[in-house]
Structure formats: structure tokens, C-alpha cells
Structure 1
Amino acid sequence: MVAFKVVRFAKLLLLVSHVVEGSKLNKLHGVSHVGITTEDLDISTRFYTDILGGKLLSQISEHGLFGDNIYQGMFAKELKDAEEKGVNPESLGVPDISKNGNYQVRWNWVLFDNLMVQLLNFSPRSKADIRSEDYDDQEMVRKSSPAYIAAPHLAFWVQDDTDLREYVMELERRSNAAGFEKIKCSRLTEIENEEDRYRVPIEAFASVYDGEDSMGGGGQGWVYCKGPNGEQIEFIKFAKSSGDKIRDAFCARKSLTTKIYPAYKDNKYKRNVGFPGQLYGLHHIGIRTSSLDESIDFFSGILGGTLMEELKGDHFFGSALQNALFQTEMIKARQTNANYDDLGIGDFVKSDLELSLRFVLFDNFILEQLMYARKGDETKGYNPRHEKSSPALINNMQIGLQLHNDVKMDDFIDNVLKKSKSKFGKVIANPIVDDPKLNGYKFAFVKGPMGEQLVFSQFTGKMADIIKSEMLAYGSLSTAYEETNPWTWEGFKEPCSEAADTGHTEL
């Protein structure tokens, strides 16, 4: 037993030393925001504020943006593809938001405990520009299945003392009462139609594993849902053993979460929305990959995240997983006689398909990598891809990674491209957008090795002042500002000292 303790302690020291060494090169404050493209900005904003308890940052929301620099900054890759194919960019999901175009981009920012959700909407500039076949037709909507490569899902972290199944029941009740008809959470049991969704027992409302045989030896619970415009969202909570491992990883990297912050209390925004507001903010964004090794190498080896070695999952399959991931799509397939592959539905019941998970931690957030592999052969799997990659497609998500303000963005991106080229050769960057109209928001859209959409961001001037002020008012945590970073005044000394002690006494 003593020898085992020494080995475990050596592993912990190795993890800490790796983080300290990596922090010398780390130029990111973690994830500043997740962007979600929506067809109805008002409905989406009301869901993330009135139902989930986020705070609308109206001072930094922008309505009616367009211009050649923003057009190129958001769509340069797709515009180049259209030119090479000799087609109209709109056929590839690109609205013309150039100076002389007919479209505009609008966005709202909603703040949670650890980052913001940016809701984007592309719409005609005037009623005269609206056509009979408008931009938000079905060709411009990403298929909602989470099986598509580079298709993300956004996961909210449900508080420990909340029953996840009751949470789902109340979330749907509140959403339906507010008129959000697209809010639907999967059941673990097979259902024939939407009416059956409300006839199953509450035990089927969420997947809850309390045993010590999942997720690297700890229990967890989770449920997949469709958001207000069909986007894939997840609600997740952890049993003590898995929660302790997450805490240890956050402590080792000096990352931030209200889950382990002793001074944090639920704010008025969460209290006002009641039960659905019982969240620690966002836990992770999940990204579908066809290669766990490549994705981990990019997000940890190149971007400086920390692979959470003791929190992973392998060999997940079965009917409960099948229903959780694809229930909405399977109902649609039955109703329309569609082929499962046409809707991106994998088979975790009759085939040899299985799900594997890995987690990469940044300063405030986790990027989850999901791979649908074949049993005994991780080089093969079920890997459908979207034909279009435009960030304007409805249900699309972008991951906003926040650069330190003393870093030159063009040099940083050039370095990322250079390192990626020697390993992947698939990473592409659009021109940087640094427009005075954005009041200090500077960004660059980048396609990752799987085609995932990243946004490298910096916030300065008025934009930074507003975000910091709003974070302090909400109680958010961020390493971007000294005032929002408890590590600068030993605010995590207590929980992280306990985490270290727990790690030794359990062994």
C-alpha cells in the first residue's frame, strides 16, 4: 500500500510539473465563448437567459453588422471553395454580408459562470431583401445528429444536489410553457413518436451511473437534448469519485470552476429562473473526431490544453446510448422513411460500433473528444461529414479561445498553422477581423484538424471593461482579469489543498 501511494504521488507530481512547464508557453485564457448560429435570435436568447439563468450582455451585443472585412473574416474559406467550384457562395451556406451585400450578422452574448454563449443570426438587411426562399431554408440547417465529424454539442454542469431526472422534467415543462417547442430531451428507452416522450417513467429521463465502473472509475449522469433551434446540448453531473478527479485536474492546472469555489453563491439570475438555473455553468463542449490521437495532439500539444488522463471513457454501446444520442433523428427517420445514414444515425445496438471519450482541460473549460470506433479497430468507425462547413449554418457551433492581450494574434496563428502543417495539414485560418465597430473585440476564424470551427479572440478597450464588469456582477470566474481569478488571491487554496489530501488518503 505504501509503495502504491508513492507511485500515485509521483504521478501527481508529474502532472503538476507538466502543467507548470506547459504554462510557460500557454498563451490562452481558455475558452471565452461558444458561438451558436440560430434562426431566431430572440427565442435563443430567451432560452439561455429565462430558462437556464444566463445574463444577457446587452452592451456588447451587436445588431446589423456587415462589411468586407467581416465577410472575409467569417467566410474566406467558403468563398475560396465557391470560387474554385465556380458556384454562388450562398449555395455553400454563405450569406453576403459584404459592404454591397444584402445580409447582416447580429449577435447577442449571454454570460454564465465560466464563459459566454454568443448567439449569432444572419438575416436580410431589409424587408426588400427577403426572398421567397430565404436563407434559413432546410439546406442551410446543419443536420442535428451528434454523429457528424466536427459537430459539437454544448454541455451544462448540473449542481450536485439536483436530481438529474427531475431537472429534465422541469426543463421541458418550463420550456414548453414558454413556447420553446423544439426543446426535447432524449429518453433512454425507445419511443415511437413525440407524444410517447412524456409517457415513459421518470427513470428513463436521464442516464445516471452511480457505480464505480464508468468514466475512469467514477459515476456520472447525463442527458442529450435539442436546444431552441435544434442545437445539440447536454446536461451532465458527476458522482463524488468522478467529481474529485475533475477537481484535482482543475487544481493541478490552476483552472477555474464555481463547482469548487468556496466563496461562490448562486446569483439572482439563477435564482430567478428556479430549478433549471441550478448549474455550475458549462462543463464542456464535445467535438466529434475520427482520430482521438490527432485531436488530443492538436488541443493539448499545439494549443496547450491538459489531457485529463484519469477521466476518460471507452467501450460505450447499447440501446440506452442509441436512444440518448439519436432519438429525435430516429423518430424523424420513421416518420419520413429516411435512411439512417442520411440523418447521421449510428448503430450502437446491432453493429460493433462503440463510443470513446477523452477530455482536454483549459483554464476554465473542458473540450471533450468523441470517437465512434469499431470494436477492436480504432482506425475505423462511423464518421459521416457535413457537405457544408459555413459558420452561418443553423445549429453550427464555434469554440472561442481567448488569447492573452499581449500576444500578437497573427504571430500566434502563424505558429499554430506551422505546427499543424507538419502534423495534420488540415488547419486553415481566415483573415483577422479588427474592426473599430466591435469596440475591442478582435477575432480570427480557424478550421481545426477535423474541420471544427475555432475563433481565436482578444477583448480590449470598452469590450474588455464591460465583460469584466458583467463577470463581477454575475460571479463568473476567468483568468483573463485579476479581479475574476481567485488564484491571484489564493481563493482556491482551501478546496485544492483538500483535493491533494484526498488523493493520498484514498490510496
Structure 2
Amino acid sequence: MTDVCKPNEAELPQDLERRDLIQGAGAAALVGIAGAALAASSPASSQTAQSTRSAGGTEKGSLGARLRGVQHFGVTVHNMERAFAFYTEVLGGTEIMRDGDFYGDRIQNTLLLKEEIEARERALNPRTIGVPDLRSGAQRLDVRFIQFENVVIELLQYRDREQPQGSGASFAPPRDETSPAFPRSMHVCFYIRDDVDFNQFVRDLEAEAARRGMTNVKANRIVSAASNRDRLQSPLESNTNPITEGPSDGWTLMYCKGSEGEQLEFVQVRGRAKQLFDGAIETRRRAVAALGN
């Protein structure tokens, strides 16, 4: 979310400067989350090249040719300070900027018009379906942007006007349904370096989060567990799922909840999977470069 403004304000110079800052911070995400972190070293297979041509949107005049790539992923949080500590102090991101106290007609319409119309059509109080009252200023929106190596994460908190920025009190309670199987669910994927012991990373991540009282941070295992105690006592090698066949050969993953209960994924990409991603990046770069000729 890069085009937010406070009530009754025109497009002021500081708004333009803020937008330029946010867009520049996301330039490192030019080719997306997992792919951008992989070095382009292997030629693309004909199948990968064909799929990139057909689905990559690189033809002149296409919508895809007008995009710069992924700018950021956003996570609406219940506790801004806890989430900020998790993404900066635990996962090592760097703060780009923070802003907040956003309210008024323009920001309400920009973010929540569809939900307001839906509430009106269903004869519901908008608050009952998660619509804060930014219009009058009864609620406010705060944002913080965090830079990682190849992507930007935006943290958003909707709070009551009386609550100071960054406080733990949020406009709405967190949703209990956090399964990634729900349609409309989203997740943020982080790339683990090739030389890192991935299983040990998972153990250390949970331990560091627990030390800070972040009890929501729970990583899955590849073995069944009847309780959290059983999950934590699982063998170290059960912390990650290495795929050893098919196109995903060399892809290792784990799913974990973040400090706010949001869905995260961590991956290492090697072998055949790495070659496929590397080839797709190189093919994409050549296609984009050709558009400039």
C-alpha cells in the first residue's frame, strides 16, 4: 500500500517523496520472492522458456511488460511492536520507514469501499465484518516497511484513535482460522541460504521467538504430533521437508506461523529446482531486455 493520504490533503510533495522511497525500497524484488534470490547461472530448458513466453507477459504492450516486479507483501497485525520485533530482531529485516495516523474519506474509500458496499447491501453494521471507521477518524491506520534481501514486508495495524501508534491494542481481534488451506489466505516465503543448516535454523527460530514471549511462532514437522510438546520433541531432522523427485527435486521447505499467527514459509532451493528457477530468471531477463531493442 503506497498511496495513502490523510484527510482532505492534496498530493503534497512529501507524499510523492514517501511514495518514491517505498517504490525504491522494493526495487530489489524485481523478479519476485524465491526466484530473485537465486543466481542466474543455468540456461533455461525449452519447456521453461516456452512457459515463460506464454505466461510471463513480456510481449511489447502487454500488462506484464509494464511491471517492475513484486514491491512488497503486507501483513495486518494485532500487535505492531511484537510483529516489528519479530521481522527485524528475530528475522533480521531492516526498517525502511514508518508512518501512520491515516484516516479520512480518501483512505477509507481506497482500502475499504468494497466491504462498505457489501455491508450496506447486507444491511449490516460495517464493524461486524471488520470495517474500521477511518472515515471519521474513530480508527487510524499505521504502517511500517521492512527491507529484506529481495522483498519488502509491510506491517499494518488498524487501531482506535485513543491508542498511541505502535500500541498493542488493535481495532479487531485476530482471526482464529489461520489454515493456509482457506481460500484468500496468503503467506510470506523467506529464502534460506544454501550453506545454512535448515533443521537447526527451525529449532533456533522457535527458541528465539519463545525467549521473547512470541508464543504464536510454531513450526510444523514432517511427522505427526498429538500435542505441542510432542511437536517440539520431534527429531531435529523432522523440522524440514526435502523434496527429492520430480521438478521440485532440491526444494526443501517448512511452514511456520509468525508472531501474529500469520502464515510463513521458509525454503532452500538446490539441485533441479534451482536449475529451473535459474533458467526462468535468465529467460525472463532476456525477454525483458529484448523489449528495449
TM range (shorter): 0.7 to 0.9
SS at match of 2:150: coil
Q: Quick check: 1:45 aligned with 2:84? A: yes
In 1: Cα distance, 2:123 partner to 2:145 partner: 36
CA RMSD of aligned residues (A): 2.6
Q: Give 1:101 shift.
A: 3.6
State which of 46, 69, 90 in structure 1 corresponds to 2:127.
90
Match of 1:76 among 113, 120, 124: 113
Equivalences for residues 270-281 of structure 1 within 5 A:
none
Letter in 1 for 2:205: L
Q: How far has the Cα of 1:180 moved from its partner? A: 1.5
Gapped runs of 5+ residues in structure 2? 1-43
Match of 1:205 in 2: 239
**Equivalent residue for 1:246?**
277
TM-superposed CA distance for 1:142, in Å, is: 5.6
Question: What displacement does 1:35 show?
Answer: 0.7
Q: Is contact 2:198–2:240 with CA below 8 Å preserved after alignment?
A: yes
- Mapped partners of 1:207, 1:134: distance in 2: 35
C-alpha spacing 1:250/1:134, structure 2 compared with 1 (3 Å): closer
C-alpha displacement of 1:31: 1.0
Counterpart secondary structure, 2:70: strand
Q: Within the alignment, does 1:186 sit opposite 2:186 as a pair?
A: no
Compared CA separation, residues 73 and 217, structure 1 to 2 (3 A): closer
Where in structure 1 are there 5+ consecutive unaligned residues? 1-7, 256-305, 307-362, 364-486, 488-507
After superposition, residues 143-158 of structure 1 pair within 5 angstroms as 143-158=177-192
> Structure 1 residues 246 and 10 mapped into 2: Cα distance closer, same or farther (>3 Å)?
closer
Partner deviation per Cα, 1:270-305 (whole Å, 9 max, x = no partner): xxxxxxxxxxxxxxxxxxxxxxxxxxxxxxxxxxxx
Q: Distance in 2 between matches of 1:12 and 1:220?
A: 17
| 1:145-179 CA-partner distances (Å, limit 9, x unpaired) | 00111211111111111121111011111111122
In structure 2, C-alpha distance between the alignment counterparts of 1:126 and 1:12, rounded to whole Å = 54
1:172 aligned residue: 206
Using the TM superposition, name which of 22-31 and 147-156 deviates more: 22-31
Deviations 1:30-67 (A, max 9, x none): 11011100001111111111111111113xx1121111
Q: Which SS does the other structure have where 2:74 is aligned?
A: strand
Q: Residues 201 and 155 (structure 1 numbering): CA distance in 2 closer, same or farther, change over 3 Å? A: same
The answer on 1:220 being equivalent to 2:259 is no
Q: Does 1:229 align with 2:289?
A: no
**1:227-274, Cα deviation, whole Å (9 max, x unpaired):** 00000001111222211110110111129xxxxxxxxxxxxxxxxxxx
Take 1:253 and 1:134, find their aligned partners in 2: how far apart are those partners?
A: 42
Question: For this pair of structures, how many residues does the alignment match?
Answer: 239
Cα-to-partner distance string for 1:175-220 (whole Å, 9 max, x where unaligned): 11122221110111121222222211111111122x2x13x15221
The change in CA–CA distance for 1:251 and 1:84 in structure 2 (over 3 A counts) is: same
Question: Matches of 1:158 and 1:88 in 2, distance apart?
Answer: 44
CA distance in 1, matches of 2:202, 2:141: 33
| Structure 2 CA distance for aligned equivalents of residues 49 and 127 of structure 1 | 23
Q: What TM-score comes out, normalization by structure 2 length?
A: 0.75
User: 1:110–1:201: structure 2 CA closer, same or farther, 3 Å change rule?
Assistant: same
The amino acid that maps onto 1:33 is H
Q: Distance in 1 between matches of 2:220 and 2:143?
A: 29
Q: Work out the CA distance in 2 between the residues paired with 1:14 and 1:187.
A: 36
State the shift of 1:105 in Å.
Answer: 0.4
Does residue 124 (structure 1) correspond to residue 160 (structure 2)? The answer is yes
Out of 95, 111, 126, which is 1:56 matched to? 95
Q: 1:81 to 1:241 in 2, by over 3 A?
A: same
Call closer, same or farther: CA 1:76–1:242 in 2, change over 3 Å. same
Give the alignment partner of residue 29 of structure 1, picking from 68, 72, 75. 68
Q: For 1:152, give the aligned amino acid.
A: M
Q: Does 1:109 align with 2:140?
A: no
Structure 1 or 2: more strand by fraction: 1
Question: How far did residue 115 of structure 1 move?
Answer: 2.0
Residues in 1 aligned to 2:216 and 2:248: alpha-carbon distance in whole angstroms: 35
Counterparts of 2:49 and 2:189, CA distance in 1: 30
Distance 1:54 1:231 in 2: 17
Distance 1:222 1:16, change over 3 A: closer
The answer on whether the counterparts of 1:208 and 1:222 sit within 8 Å (CA) in structure 2 is yes
Task: Among all aligned residue pairs of Structure 1 and Structure 2, give the percentage whose two residues are the same amino acid.
Answer: 26
What letter corresponds to residue 123 of structure 2 in structure 1? Answer: G
2:29 maps to: none
The whole-number CA distance in structure 1 between the counterparts of 2:204 and 2:179 is 24
The one-letter amino acid paired with 1:208 is: P
SS at match of 2:265: strand
Residues 1:252 and 1:20: Cα distance change in structure 2 (over 3 Å)? farther
CA–CA distance in structure 2, aligned partners of residues 114 and 23 of structure 1: 26
Give yes or no for contact 1:224–1:233 (8 Å, CA) kept in 2. Answer: yes
**Match of 1:124, as an amino acid?**
D
Contact 1:15/1:252 (8 A) holds in 2: no
Letter in 2 for 1:157: Y
CA shift for structure 1 position 20: 8.2
Change (3 A) 1:75 1:12: closer
